[in-house]
Amino acid sequence: MVHDSSEHPAPAPRKARRGSRSDPPQDDLRLDTSDVDPETSATEDDDESRLPDASDDASEAFVEGTLAVGHAAIENAVRLAPTSPGVYRMLNAANDVLYVGKAKNVKKRLSYYARASAPLPARILRMIAATTQVEIVSTMTETEALLLEANLIKQLRPRFNVQLRDDKSFPYILITGDHWAPQILKHRGAQSRPGRYFGPFANAGAVNRTITALQRAFLIRSCTDGFFESRTRPCLLYQIKRCVGPCTREIDFPGYSELVREATEFLSGRSHAVKELLAAEMEKASGELEFETAALYRDRLAALSAIQSQQGINPRTVEEADVFAIHQEGGYSCVEVFFFRTGQNWGNRAYFPKAEKTFTPEEVLASFLAQFYDDKPPPKLILLSHEIEESALLADALSVKAGYKVEVSVPKRGEKKELIGHALTNAREALGRKLADTATQSRLLEAMVTTLGLPHAPKRIEVYDNSHIMGTNAVGAMIVAGPDGFMKNQYRKFNIKSEGLTPGDDYGMMREVLERRFKRLLKPLEGDAAKAKPDEKADEDAFPQWPDLVIIDGGRGQLNAAREIFQTLGLTQVALMAVAKGPERDAGRETLFMPDREAIKLEPRDPVLYFIQRLRDEAHRFVIGSHRKLRKKDIREAGLQEIPGIGPSRKRALLHHFGTLKEIERASIADLGKVPGVSAESARKIFEFFHAQPG
């Protein structure tokens, strides 16, 4: 059901900071996991200090006149609104969705917005003033409305709603089920491949460490099916006792299946039974004087113990649960999430929601949970540090989505209470570290104003660098930093596409990267003067899409090349700086170049110089990593023929000796020289090919 109130004209809507989750309407907070929306920008009107003062007659008249239009639009929707559950969307004159909300009784909820006398916060009043039409979708139950609301908020990103920007999926461990010799691997994304999935894990590092330990404990292969089928001899993992070599039938099918069963049992929470079985086998082998076999079981037991020690606290009475604890301090909040599956701790992650200081922990936590499980399967038990409103409704909604009963509770005693206490301690410590880092970062940004002569402290800094080896696999990269540190979800890489570039033309590569970046940034502004310009101030809480400062890795030449691009595109309000390495590339002796200014040399211990070095080094790290991925891809596709002097015969000899291209890459010059037919000079060329440093 859709109701259009567009017959009520409205003035151009004023920009506003994102507001709240739907229930209750006075909620007004925005979640921020440091993954900030690159499309969001705002104007000076976003500042609360610019809201009309009720004591000012002229301002009061302006507010009443603007609100009257919004109230009229909502009243028009109220007349046709259903009294059943549903989801409503408020739109402005440009058909942008301002707000998504759900209600058990849509008519009653909209009537609350339509009343001029309703005690609503300033931001909600601004939202109403910008509203020109309301769209309504009826649902069968309030549970369906809650699920639809969370989905629409993530899709539409309305600026008056809570925004949980958490695009990175959680990793899982997968034991495949589509091959006679199952593979163990890390998995992200849709769980479409046949097999058993275990997780989620809080981060990829925890998965990688666990898989490595599981390989030592159960000797299951981690290679791809294609690599597996092509083997004629066991690979290095077999030699270092991290695989039993099913590819070359070093173990029979029943024996390998038993190892897979044990690994599955361990990951399913029956680790005690698996360890008892291995201990019994070790004692049996020792009693029969088969000491090598006993040592193998001993090493497997040690690997299992290592997994459990890495996981830290492992509950005895909690099989599957997510634990949420919130701590507030100094007007800031931290939500710490612990994941427990199969009776084991699979890690934790901290989130830092931004909220008004007046909001209670319960309100912040409720808004956080509403969207957290939109794209994640919930566990059977969710433990909270604070009671939240509509906990029963949330449990029902998650149960419907998951297909099994989900319980949401606040434990009062016992081991579950201890888990909450442990999570609260981590939340308190994480928030303390975050506040300290933020304060340091803010001081550095303020110091840059004086040191570099900037008009104000930069909220968004973009740093550019490029990498290549004699012009091949050329790639450019952009990293982004702001008041909260490095914004890694904003990083971008640019594969250099210009065909006319001279190999190694750093200036030309930088021109291409900057042109592509800023032409794309300017495109939404073409023909729309009402959009935010790069010289307009952004919302205090919103991360801008336009940089205040652009840093180029290079000297005066790179600066002039970048300046030409900016002049061509008409970018006059973005500060530009180049950072040249010191003599012999010494850190601390860098020279800073800015347009129409003398070169700047800072003291080696200057905090601003150290900060700029960190920015430059992060850009270098990111671009080198991107270049190496491209280069390795080319090597995989072209093979060893790309190495001068390596023909088919030597290629076969190398592969026969080392087994894989990856092992050839790892080999030393001495090891390469041991291959039949490979001379000392050829070994040196092969080694240099794989280890050449990109420019």
Q: Which long-range contacts (CB under 8 A, 24 or more apart) does 246-250 make?
A: 246/181, 246/221, 247/181, 247/221, 247/223
Pair 492, 416 in one domain: no
User: For 658-672, what is each residue's pLDDT tens digit?
Assistant: 766 667 777 888 888
CATH of the domain at 671: 1.10.150.20
The residue-averaged pLDDT of 674-690 equals 80
Tokens 């490979």: give the residue.
678
> What tokens does 77 get?
């929707």
> Which residue, of 130, 156, 182, is where some domain finishes?
156
Residues 171, 175, 181: CA angle, nearest 5 degrees = 150
What is the residue type of 538? Answer: A
**Residue that wins the pLDDT comparison between 267 and 102:** 102
pLDDT at 88: 93
Mapped to the 3 state alphabet, what secondary structure does 118-145 carry?
CCCCHHHHHHHHHCCEEEEEECCCHHHH
532: left (phi over 0), alpha (psi -120 to 50) or beta: beta
Pair 22, 121 in one domain: yes
Mapped to the 3 state alphabet, what secondary structure does 323-391 carry?
EEEEEEECCEEEEEEEEEECCEEEEEEEECCEECCCCCHHHHHHHHHHHHCCCCCCCCEEEECCCCCCH
pLDDT at 387: 92
Contacts of 247 (CB under 8 A, 6+ apart): 181, 221, 223, 228, 229, 231, 234, 235
What is the residue type of 302? Answer: A
What is the domain range of residue 598? 461-630
pLDDT at 501: 62
**Where does the pLDDT of residue 273 fall: very low under 50, low under 70, confident under 90, or very high at 90 and above?**
low
Does residue 266 contact residue 274 with C-beta atoms inside 8 Å? Answer: yes
CATH of the domain at 97: 3.40.1440.10
Of the ranges 119-128, 522-531, 560-569, 639-648, which one carries the lowest mean pLDDT score?
A: 522-531
User: For 281-307, what is each residue's pLDDT tens digit?
Assistant: 787 777 777 777 777 777 777 766 666
List the one residue out of 87, 80, 83, 72 whose CA is nearest residue 105. 83
Pair 123, 243 in one domain: no
The residue-averaged pLDDT of 673-684 equals 82
Q: Return the percentage of the chain with pLDDT > 90, whole number.
A: 10
527 has a pLDDT exceeding 70: no
Pair 660, 576 in one domain: no
> What angle do helix axes 204-218 and 253-267 make, rounded to 10 degrees?
140
pLDDT at 633: 57
* Residue 316, domain member (yes or no): no
The residue-averaged pLDDT of 174-197 equals 88
Pair 141, 195 in one domain: no
> What angle do helix axes 57-80 and 106-114 make, rounded to 10 degrees?
160
**Residue that wins the pLDDT comparison between 345 and 245:** 245
Of the ranges 1-15, 79-93, 187-201, 621-635, which one carries the lowest mean pLDDT score?
A: 1-15
- Cα distance between residue 588 and residue 608, in whole Å: 11
pLDDT at 87: 92
654 has a pLDDT exceeding 70: yes
133 has a pLDDT exceeding 60: yes
* Residue 447, domain member (yes or no): no
> Which residue, of 417, 434, 451, is where some domain finishes?
434
pLDDT at 386: 93
**Residue that wins the pLDDT comparison between 658 and 440:** 440
* Residue 451, domain member (yes or no): no
Q: Which residues pair with 138 in a beta bridge?
A: 86
Contacts of 277 (CB under 8 A, 6+ apart): 262
pLDDT at 48: 30
pLDDT at 166: 59
* Residue 164, domain member (yes or no): no
Averaged pLDDT score across all residues of the chain:
76
Pair 8, 134 in one domain: yes
List the one residue out of 96, 159, 161, 173 whose CA is nearest residue 131. 96
* Residue 60, domain member (yes or no): yes
* Residue 135, domain member (yes or no): yes
> Which residue, of 583, 600, 630, is where some domain finishes?
630
Burial class (CB in 10 A: 0-12, 13-18, 19+), 192: exposed
Pair 231, 87 in one domain: no
The residue-averaged pLDDT of 577-591 equals 75
pLDDT at 693: 55
**Where does the pLDDT of residue 13 fall: very low under 50, low under 70, confident under 90, or very high at 90 and above?**
very low
Pair 589, 482 in one domain: yes
> What tokens does 334 get?
């931290």
What is the residue type of 162? Answer: V
Pair 470, 607 in one domain: yes
102 has a pLDDT exceeding 80: yes
- Cα distance between residue 395 and residue 409, in whole Å: 9
Pair 297, 329 in one domain: no
DSSP state of 413: S
The residue-averaged pLDDT of 618-647 equals 66
Pair 651, 585 in one domain: no
**Residue that wins the pLDDT comparison between 45 and 526:** 526
Does residue 508 contact residue 497 with C-beta atoms inside 8 Å? Answer: no
The residue-averaged pLDDT of 652-658 equals 74
DSSP state of 263: H
326 has a pLDDT exceeding 90: yes
Of the ranges 87-101, 327-341, 582-596, which one carries the lowest mean pLDDT score?
A: 582-596
Q: Mapping DSSP to helix (H, G, I), strand (E, B) and coil, where does residue 474 land?
A: strand
CATH of the domain at 381: 3.30.420
The residue-averaged pLDDT of 253-277 equals 79
* Residue 349, domain member (yes or no): yes
pLDDT at 332: 82
Number of H helices, E strands in the chain: 20, 21
**Where does the pLDDT of residue 127 fall: very low under 50, low under 70, confident under 90, or very high at 90 and above?**
confident
Q: What is the total count of domains within the chain?
A: 5
Q: Return the percentage of the chain with pLDDT > 70, whole number.
A: 76
Pair 32, 120 in one domain: yes
User: For 27-83, what is each residue's pLDDT tens digit?
Assistant: 333 333 333 333 333 333 333 323 333 333 333 333 444 788 888 889 888 988 999
268 has a pLDDT exceeding 70: yes
**Where does the pLDDT of residue 323 fall: very low under 50, low under 70, confident under 90, or very high at 90 and above?**
very high
> What tokens does 172 get?
């899982």
- Cα distance between residue 599 and residue 610, in whole Å: 17
pLDDT at 645: 65
The residue-averaged pLDDT of 143-164 equals 79
DSSP state of 640: G
Of the ranges 113-127, 326-340, 411-425, which one carries the lowest mean pLDDT score?
A: 113-127
Of the ranges 314-318, 475-479, 543-547, 671-675, which one carries the lowest mean pLDDT score?
A: 314-318
Give the Cβ contact number of residue 530 at 10 Å. 10
Measured between alpha carbons, how far is residue 17 from residues 108, 321, 546 in Å? 26, 34, 17
> What tokens does 566 get?
């900016």
* Residue 162, domain member (yes or no): no
pLDDT at 634: 54
